[in-house]
Amino acid sequence: EAKDVFLSNISRQEDKTVVTCLEHHMHGFEDNDLVKFTELEGLNELNFDPKRNNTYRIKVISPYAFSIDVDISGLPKYEAGGIATQIKEIVVENYATLQDSLEKPEIIPTDFSKFDHPIQIHLGFQALDRFKEKHGSLPGPWNLTHARELVEIVSSINESSTNKLEKINEKLIKQISCTAQGQVIGISGFLGGTMAQEVIKACSGKFTPLKQFLYLDVTEILPDPDDSKLDLSDYIPSGNPTRYDVQNICFGKSVTKKLFDTKLFMVGSGAIGCEMLKNYAMLGVSSGKGKITITDNDIIETSNLNRQFLFREHDITQLKSVTAANAALRMNPSINVDAQPDKVGSETESKYSDTFFASLDVVVNALDNVQARLYVDSRCVTNQKPLLESGTMGTKSHVQVILPFKTETYASQRDPPEHDVPFCTIRSFPSRIEHTIEWARDKFQNIFISKPREVQQYFEDSSYLEALKSGAGRPKLNLLKYVQKIAQNPPKSWRDCVVFARVKFESYFNIAPQQILHAYPADMRMKDGTKFWALPKRPPVPLIWDPNNEDHRNFILSTASIYAHIYNVTPKNDLSEIVEVELPKFRPKNKTIVIDESKTKADVVKEEAQIDLPEQEFNAIINSLITRSTNKFKLQIEEFEKDDDKNFHVDFITAASNLRAASYGISTADKLKTKQIAGKIIPAIATTTAAVSGLVSIELVKVLMGELPLDVYKNAFMNLALPFFSLSEPAKAEQIKITGNSYYTVWDRWELKGDRTLKDFIEYFKKTYDLTVTGVFVEVRMIYMAIIPMHNRRLPQKLSALIKPQEPYVDLIVSFDSSTGESVNGPIVRFWF
């Protein structure tokens, strides 16, 4: 989608026209993007005019500023406001024929540490075609005679080429020959996902096609075919064919055996989790003495089916982990899978304990949120276990290999925190469609969940009124009045529901905007003379009911239909009842409208809850409720469900959001986009998921092969839309200085065994590491601080007496005196009693 950003300034600086974004608003543009300007005050000449088609090429200066190649010196000065919107351009790409591109290939790089590999592999694949044409088959597995012949064919092709290479990489060509009949699910998954995205591009015309060749190799895990010590029998299939022969050709039976015996823990069974389970089944992971433990507390929803391919329609409402495990077992009945329904977190740490983690060989994340990733990362660091981390966002994805003592962890690099949208923006001053959708979602919660629940409690809980009179859990005035209204006159017909919806329309989209404009008139100025209604604030326009407007009708129909379902009224697709409705009139109120951006929703709700009901009015309501009818009825309480197209939930959110957007001059959104935002659906597509899971599977094989040099492992970032691929060596674990030559990494853990006095504990570090202890802590509990004289009394006491442990060991945080005289923490000290 085209990006846009609010502006705070446009000025001439050092022969450049610099455009600055509003605070906390990153533009997200790239060099050479085309943008248009709208709603600029002062620099009207730059505002987009369809007749002039005045758009501007940009050059990025920073995430919050860019320049345009226009001299504004002779124009009026920038005053305020403005939006820069990206223009999506149609690009015509030209491609060489296959014959020409074979001779002069255009190859997308994937790994700059193997810069010469793509062109060598390009020749190798042409040689494979010639070999097959001559012999009727591809070179035999680890047939060195065939390998030498393939080198000769490559040399011949190279000699006759106008794009001749200086040297042939014979080792690489022989590896291509030896594994030509092999197959690895990781590479198949990566190429399958990538090529599927190219098919979508060809059909849709969206995103940039791959130009023109793509090669990926994992030759770093292959042996040298000329190594005299190489046991070829480990790679060559035996007389009895198995499903693993093609992967044995690539990394040997001994590695496959390690896969069989692997104890793996995967957290999450969603999109990536499904792909990974399929890959485990193909690789034979845990089909011997090993076990795959997977856990996910989520259930399958309709929206999952387009990318979480192990699930089918009949699986909806079933546990993801159990369903995915059963699907994987159908692919390979030999694998051992234990599916659990748990959320991994501090609340399940007794189940997924240190003992559990100690039994594992590797952990794989298949999660969709940062908080859960950080938790699993911390557990892997504590227990010194390798972790394979990955994620997707639309066509973008990443892979991170996290190895004990070797690499940085997931927590080592953090994105800057997102700037939260102030509550006052959502409630009164929306500027983006996301704000109006969140507002509509909040209204849904209030109308169809919170208020009906209060009514239900009134009808079903005999102690409800007594609790109110005692002051316990007293609801807000509007909530109590709603209960009173429904108790006295519940909706009985479709007309009642339509009238309810029409009154809501008037209240939300006509009266509420008038109230805001009453409090803050359109021409209002602040004390410093600046306009109150300056972008991103826009003054609302009260909406007049229009029966011919689709959003107007949809709001009435969806609101009335949901309301009818809650109160057991038969709905109709008929809005003729709207004609004769008594509507509320606008009467100015001295109501406080929050404009303080520092106040959160919780702050405002708390303040409003502290406004006491006038006692006389409260008692009158309670008395009327006491004398209620004895006719009780059961309400059908709604819960927001985005995947049921017949329940009108997303229809209500879409109509309410778009009406509010129309009132505030914001571009509206269709039902699909509204559903994505309101349902908090993370953009995910099957192509990206397949590709990234393939790369994770390759790194899994490397991890299980044993100790390998760090440059063998590959972190990855890719964007299938561009397309862009970048594989690189993981960053090394940071060395943290304590003092002098004493360093540690987050992976390090010092272990001490045997109960001892605090004094002996302190002396141990002095003797062993020449470090002076300044503090000892268990989580946030202070055991010893050198600067507190009274703590010297604790020196003769045993640590077991001071800590009173519940487990055989405890992880201590110990601080030491640094070379600067300040206390610094060392690595975790695991103390065994």
Q: Reduce the DSSP state of residue 283 to 3 states and report it.
A: helix
Q: Reduce the DSSP state of residue 809 to 3 states and report it.
A: strand
- Residues 764/752, Cβ–Cβ less than 8 Å: yes
Distance between CA 319 and CA 295 in Å, rounded? Answer: 10
Distance between CA 100 and CA 671 in Å, rounded? Answer: 47
Axis-axis angle for helices 550-566, 494-506 (nearest 10): 130
Cα 762 vs. chain centroid, distance in angstroms?
44
Among 576, 566, 559, 553, residue whose Cα is nearest residue 495:
576
Question: What value, to the nearest 5°, has the Cα angle with vertex 13 and ends 7 and 17?
Answer: 50
Beta bridge partners of 148: none
Distance between CA 742 and CA 370 in Å, rounded? Answer: 32
Distance between CA 73 and CA 59 in Å, rounded? Answer: 19
SS3 sequence of 481-494: HHHHHHHHCCCCCH
SS3 sequence of 437-479: HHHHHHHHHHHHHHHHHHHHHHHHCCCHHHHHHCCCCCCCHHH
Burial grade of 454 (CB within 10 A; 0-12, 13-18, 19 or more) = middle
Element (H, E) at 387: strand 387-393
- Residues 323/311, Cβ–Cβ less than 8 Å: yes
Total count of residues recorded for the chain: 833
- Following DSSP, what letter does each residue of 121-175 receive, concatenated? HHHHHHHHHHHHHHHSSPPPTT-HHHHHHHHHHHHHHHHT-TT--S---HHHHHH
Beta bridge partners of 18: 11, 67
Among 542, 537, 541, residue whose Cα is nearest residue 429:
537
Beta bridge partners of 785: 775
Structure tokens at 9: 């300034």
Element (H, E) at 87: strand 80-87
- Residues 385/362, Cβ–Cβ less than 8 Å: yes
Distance between CA 511 and CA 490 in Å, rounded? Answer: 25
Q: What is the largest CA-CA distance in the chain?
A: 101
Beta bridge partners of 84: 5, 37
Q: Reduce the DSSP state of residue 82 to 3 states and report it.
A: strand
DSSP conformational letter for 315: G
- Residues 552/505, Cβ–Cβ less than 8 Å: yes
Structure tokens at 196: 């599927």
The question of whether 424 is a catalytic residue gets the answer yes
| Dihedral angle, C-alpha 285, 290, 295, 301, nearest 10 ° | 40
- Note if the bond before 588 is cis, omega within 30 degrees: no
φ/ψ of 167, rounded to 5, equals -145, 140
φ/ψ of 85, rounded to 5, equals -120, 130
Buried b (16+ CB within 10 A) or exposed e, 807-822: eeebebbbbbbbeeee
Element (H, E) at 606: helix 601-609
Q: Which of 178, 274, 424, 497 is catalytic?
A: 424
Beta bridge partners of 337: 292
DSSP conformational letter for 681: P
Q: Which residues are catalytic?
A: 424
